[in-house]
Chains A and B, each alone.
Chain A
């Protein structure tokens, strides 16, 4: 980018422009104009992103309960979180479990529905709306609804399973089923991925399918050699954004755990998150409960930075695999 700018200015005049020349004044004006247009973001980036990121690092070395002045404790918070904190292991495990299972299933399922919808000949608009609308449901509302639907004793789902003689699982109340239940909830809201995959599938040139058919390719061969290469960048995009979203997985897990536990609690009540048996506790929830319920600011900031490091590492790793992800210049 900077290369093209300098190339352009070099082309304009071989000898350096004299001070106060119209050219230099023009360039200064352009610089000011750019700064002016960018200023909301420049301010926002430094105040609401740059500063807190640095402050998080600072607090991670401090003992601070948000009342007394912070005191320096070196690596003690880090050692506490990484070696002793009883809930750190389960929270990290749950978060990574969700990242792997949820993202994989979402991409496969989203792609499947995208493929299906491109094959539908009748009533395509109706089907598209049906698949898309759950994505819009507010996460809290969707979670409340799913906790009700999957209620082991009174929920419609287990009721319907009993009609066919099946004994439904405990869903959100069973530590083995709570995470799969969250995955189901997330698959219900697959609408955004469906639209993205649908658009990219429709972009695959028709002639390539025709050519493959002439060569006698079956459905799988066509998918493998025509569709897949064309949509790989989109799949990668879906994986990266999926990983990032799941790293911050919070609302659904928290609300599901709280509601399923059946404890009569309102927002702001201190409870041990992750019901049942910490099976729905994620790292973001741990950040919240450390920082805003236990007022252990140092430990909360260490957890934030662990989350930051993992999110960054995964994103960079996946981004390096694809040029298409960094939007093209010009």
Chain B
């Protein structure tokens, strides 16, 4: 889009003395700075306040949590140990961790070779394969859930566990394949060629050359997959609902409220405990997150 067609209506206006002009310019810049930053602060409050209220409520006494009070009278940090002592809560942690860790390892190991082939091999049907990957990424999981459930429950008798969610991850995950492939496209072909000239086989090239270069992309995929599993509600609801011993944190959290019918303070403490690992990991791996998000959206 060219901008040359735009005309400036006031080009003929008499120019003012340059001194006031500079002062006006500076004042305009300061006002602009103030405007931008006030809007930003107001918005930032909208984003941060929910966390603050949740934290404040999580340390209130049982009675106070039921009132509309915003500030706790006394700081009951023991609410957190009460949450940990809730029957099942530690099991949910263990299950969430197992689901998320195994799911992440399986996804990375199975998706890297597929993404590599889709990014760097030339073969007939590559475009079709890519379109199929994208369409599986696009489809709501509810579309295929019923036959999937029937297979796992009736053929393999694995309902009541998280295995029906973990095992498929050893066979590639569309979103991860897509994201990794976007990343691998940015690795220059020359590195791969020269590894082959040096006598590396395809698999060794992948392990010794491509994987080390793709570390940021792999880190992003691993993080996203970890949090996908950690946050997953639908999957555990389908397969684990009947067996509280297999519930995850995300799934169990909802029942927490019913176990303590109206204890908002404990519920908010539990809510923060479910969020905590995500937030902590984010602070250690900000760059990988942001790169990952950018990669899915921008580079084509």
Contacts and interface: CB of A to CB of B under 8 A. Distances in A.
B127 interface: yes
Interface stretch (A18-26, A72-80, A154-162): A154-162
By secondary structure, the B interface counts as helix
B16 interface: no
Contact of B47 (A2, A133, A146): A133
B123 interface: yes
Interface stretch (B20-28, B74-82, B138-146, B211-219): B138-146
Nearest to B223: A136
Contacts of A59: 146-147
A324 B300 contact: yes
A170 interface: no
B250 interface: yes
A89 B115 CA distance: 41
Interface residues of B, number: 114
B110 to A, nearest CB: 4
Given A5-B123, A156-B68, A208-B3, A148 B267 contact: yes
Contact of B68 (A55, A136, A146, A154): A154
Interface in A316-330: 324-329
Q: How many of chain A's residues touch chain B, expressed as a range?
A: 35 or more
A17 interface: no
A267 B251 contact: yes
B138 A234 contact: no
B233 A251 contact: yes
B143 A141 contact: no
Contacts of B40: 116-117, 120, 127
Contact of B298 (A52, A203, A221, A312): A203
Interface of B: 1, 3-4, 6-11, 33, 36-37, 39-40, 43-44, 46-48, 50-51, 53-54, 57, 66-68, 70, 110-111, 113-114, 116-118, 121-127, 129-136, 138-151, 168, 170-172, 177-178, 181-182, 185, 202, 227, 230-231, 233-234, 237-238, 241-242, 247, 249-255, 257-259, 261, 264, 267-268, 271-272, 274-275, 278-279, 282, 286, 289-290, 293-294, 296-298, 300
